[in-house]
Amino acid sequence: MSLATVPTDKQPQRITEMPRKESVDWVKAAACGSLFAGGLLLLARQKRAGILMAASGTALAMLDHQETVSQWWKAMPGYIDRAQRMMEQVEETVERITEKSSALRRAISK
């Protein structure tokens, strides 16, 4: 006698409802899919389509994180000011190096 033919006293329970799962975050799924597809298109040397897909995925991801984007947007002028000051410092340093190199060339040529 096999286990399949053994009679049991318990009746099987009927499933009247499907088990509920957590809802899917479709914005995140679309953002991830777009970014992934954009990366694959860029690897396949489809530059325009890859950039378009990556940009759309980024836009969808930004929709999901509006508070973070708002904070970055408010902080952006400070970052731009710092970057501009750094570029001015680099420019001044390059000018000083150019002046010293020309002075050194004049001294060597005498």
Domain extents for the chain? 24-64, 72-110
What's the whole-number average pLDDT of the chain? 83
Q: Is the pLDDT of residue 98 over 70?
A: yes
Residues 37, 49 contacting (CB under 8 angstroms)? no
Tally Cβ neighbours within 10 Å of residue 51. Answer: 13
Q: What is the per-residue pLDDT for 89?
A: 96
Residues 25, 61 contacting (CB under 8 angstroms)? no
Residue 67 C-alpha from the chain's centroid: 16
Considering only residues 100 and 2, tell me which one the structure prediction assigns the higher pLDDT: 100
* DSSP category for residue 10: S
25-36 mean pLDDT: 83
Residue 33 structure tokens: 């899919």
**What b-and-e string marks burial along 1-34, b requiring 16 or more CB atoms within 10 Å of the CB?**
eeeeeeeeeeeeeeeeeeeeeeeeeeeeebbeeb
pTM of the model: 0.44
Percentage, residues of the chain above pLDDT 90? 29
78-107 mean pLDDT: 93
Q: Cα(59)–Cα(41) distance, rounded to whole angstroms? A: 18
Considering only residues 34 and 85, tell me which one the structure prediction assigns the higher pLDDT: 85
45 dihedral zone (left: phi>0; alpha: psi -120 to 50; beta): left
97-101 mean pLDDT: 92
